[in-house]
Structure 1
Amino acid sequence: MTEPAHHRVDVALGDRSYPVHIGPGVRTLLPGLVAATGAARAVVVSARPAHALPSLGVPVRWVAARDGEENKNLATVAELCEHFARFGLTRSDVVVSCGGGTTTDTVGLAAALYHRGTPVIHLPTSLLAQVDASIGGKTGVNLPEGKNLVGAYWQPRAVLCDTEFLDTLPPRERVNGYGELARCHFIGAPGLAALPLVDQIARSVALKASVVARDERDQGLRHVLNYGHTLGHALERATEYALRHGEAVAVGTVFAGLLAGALGRIPPARVAEHRDVVASYGLPTELPADVADDDLVAYMRRDKKAEGHALTFVLDGPAGPELVPDVPEDLVRATLATMPRTTAPHASLTASPR
């Protein structure tokens, strides 16, 4: 079979390196990738029907994926591992995820834990998962206390970003994915909005791959990928996930620009650029009307980047984005106060798709 024309980006991690294929029809590469693992059987956790994927050439157990933040928890991971065990999966076999960001995260963590590490291949089906969640080996689930507080680093064997899956996304879900693309403008990939979508995905993946190759486990540089995420994660929790991840990161990116300006790290024009770029994607730029600053500050203190409950942000500056610890709480609150608020409650906060 002739391989589809597509982009390929390699995540260079020595003997754990792997390819990311991006383009229409790349799911046809899946049987060859499964064969390359040497697996005798596979578990496919999929949000799509079986006919959406090619035959893998080995016995398969199909498990229905459950996307959505309400399913991104340890109970889902335990249930997945039970499916693996009942099928007799071994660490020489393979797990395949086919779904959005929640599926990628939960299946990735289940694969990392089962037999202390079972090969996994990701087929992300949402824009958000293709540009971010499926790349880099971070797996994680939520606790009531915060986002992604339980997880592991477990690199996949390959990632297939089949852009044909995106054709069926509802408008709000596509806009949600733009949130991660918008923040790329400020961490090393400006001007994405002018490119065709497949090229935007490829540029975003290449940026993330280059960062992960230099800092796999968040020792320094990889923190820049969390641009806009400190407030973004807090907004998700404070709205009980009515505000979706990409939407929340978009608002968080606007806030990051304002906070960097308040600290004197960037000039007013660069502050304004944050809002302009986010708005150009049709993403929200305002805080929800009914979310309290006290709640946001409390959740930001629980952010994974924080040390000793100090407020920590990734902020733009003269040398580019970097981790800025110990940001004064009064300045954070004052900056939140400068942000416009929607007139509607958070449950109805959504932007118009471009």
Structure 2
Amino acid sequence: MTEGSEATVAAAHRVEVALGERAYHVHIGPGVRAALPEVVAGIGARRVAVVSARPPEWTPDPGVPSVVIPARDGEHHKTLGWVEELCRRFADFGLSRSDAVVSVGGGTTTDAAGLAAALYHRGVPVVHLPTSLLAQVDASVGGKTAVNLPQGKNLVGAYWQPRAVLCDTEYLTTLPRREWTNGYGEIARCHFIGAGDLYGLPVQEQIAASVVLKASIVADDERDAGPRHLLNYGHTLGHALERATGYRLRHGEAVAIGTVFAGVLAGRLGRIGPDRVAEHRSVVAAYGLPTALPAGPGSDAGALIALMRLDKKATDGLTFVLDGPRGAEPVRGVPEPEVAAALADMPVGDAGTGGR
């Protein structure tokens, strides 16, 4: 790195994901993509396959011989077929276990490239450069990699921790408004799992607080045996809504609605009072996120419940992460009539959105 880029990276937030020999750092700030050559050198990689959803001027040089593979960003491209093609491209380039993969893109790119890195040669190092707000606050950190099946979201995957994550906030300046809103869905749900009120903070601090929270949970439960389920707050209904709407509803938007629903359901089960239920809606609405079920298939209770039964946490009937006297925790075996009644309590359409 140049002297100027070293100063930029030094001024960034740095969060450790403490996983022993698999520990790594998440760097958050403007210009941190300049650290990529140093990270690659630290790995000892001689060659790099860069899977990038961004144009050449936003795809940094890793400092060693490389091939750039244009990414197929978006949920419809998170498939095993795309992962196989990536692995074929790695092989064509002659990538070995002593080399590395770099992802540059949103959460679907980090997911697919991460899974390809986990599978190729039974695992090659991967470095993520998340370029969307959602990927920077959540998707690129924690080592979960996965692709979708027609039957459900993220049903085929592996745990494969990156060697580093470079969250360059300069990428966010290129995002359309809807992509900002998409990322705010994950930030809003952090309010109910321990991050506190992040509304109104500078975006770099919002990202850092979200990553600090996730890093602490992942360090305690890398492979989703219990505490890590907290990170799925709002996701059970959220994933079902994505499927029900053919992914027209973006992930963060769906999680936002799922977070409001989690409050409604917790209220029906007597876990929280009316003020806390209302807080779910007000926090989500503050970020300009949707708080109502979308009209059409996204409001069909029977279809949504059937999709929620496919959730990976659902080992004992319908399972949700819900707020309560001890804070958020997984609640298993939630009666279907209560879930249906909570869905019926949700507004439908564009009502209930806004900001503060």
TM-score when normalising by structure 2: 0.96
Q: 2:309 aligns with which of 277, 301, 309?
A: 301
| Shift in CA distance, 107/312, structure 1 to aligned 2, threshold 3 Å | same
Q: Distance in 1 between matches of 2:107 and 2:201?
A: 23
Letter in 2 for 1:273: E
Unaligned runs of 5+ in 2: none
Q: Report SS of the residue matched to 2:72.
A: coil
**Deviation of the 1:353 alpha carbon:** 8.1
Tell whether 2:315 aligns with 1:336.
no
The residue type equivalent to 2:89 in the other structure is: H
Of 236-245 and 56-65, the range deviating more from structure 2: 56-65
Contact 2:286 2:355 in 1 (8 A): no
**Residues 159, 223 of structure 2: 8 Å contact kept:** yes
Tell me, in whole angstroms, the C-alpha distance in 2 between the residues paired with 1:148 and 1:327.
23
Indicate the residue corresponding to 2:233 in structure 1. Answer: 227
| C-alpha displacement of 1:137 | 0.1
Matched, 1:60 2:78: no
Determine helix, strand or coil for the equivalent of 1:27: helix
4+ residue segments displaced more than 3 Å: 350-354
- 2:221 matched to 1:215? yes
Note the C-alpha offset of 1:25: 0.2
Q: Deviations over 1:279-324 (max 9, x none)?
A: 000000000111211110000000000015x100000011110000
1:185 is the counterpart of 2:191: yes
Contact between 2:33 and 2:60, CA under 8 Å: does it hold in 1? yes
- Check the 8 A contact 1:81/1:114 in 2, yes or no: yes
Asked if the contact 1:227–1:315 (Cα under 8 Å) also holds between the matched residues in 2, the reply is yes
Instruction: Classify the secondary structure of the residue corresponding to 2:210.
Output: helix
Please state how far the C-alpha of 1:278 moved relative to its aligned partner: 0.1
Give the conservation status (yes or no) of the 8 Å contact 1:28–1:53: no
Structure 2 matches for 1:77-226, cutoff 5 A?
A: 77-226=83-232
CA distance in 1: counterparts of 2:66 and 2:354, whole angstroms: 41
Residue aligned with 2:167, SS = strand
Q: Are 2:15 and 1:9 aligned?
A: yes
Query: Aligned to 1:20, what secondary structure does the other structure show?
Result: strand
Contact 1:171-1:353 within 8 A present in 2 as well = no
- Alignment partner of 2:147: what SS? strand
Q: Name the CA distance, whole Å, in 1 between partners of 2:198 and 2:354.
A: 19
CA displacement at 1:190 relative to structure 2: 1.2
Counterpart code for 1:84: F
Give the corresponding residue for 1:347. Answer: none
Aligned length: 348
State the secondary structure of the residue aligned to 2:199.
helix
Take 2:346 and 2:100, find their aligned partners in 1: how far apart are those partners? 47
> Could you tell me the TM-score, scaled by structure 1's length?
0.96
Contact 2:131 2:168 in 1 (8 A): yes
Distance 2:138 2:305 in 1: 25
RMSD: 1.4
Pick from 250, 253, 259 the counterpart of residue 253 of structure 1: 259
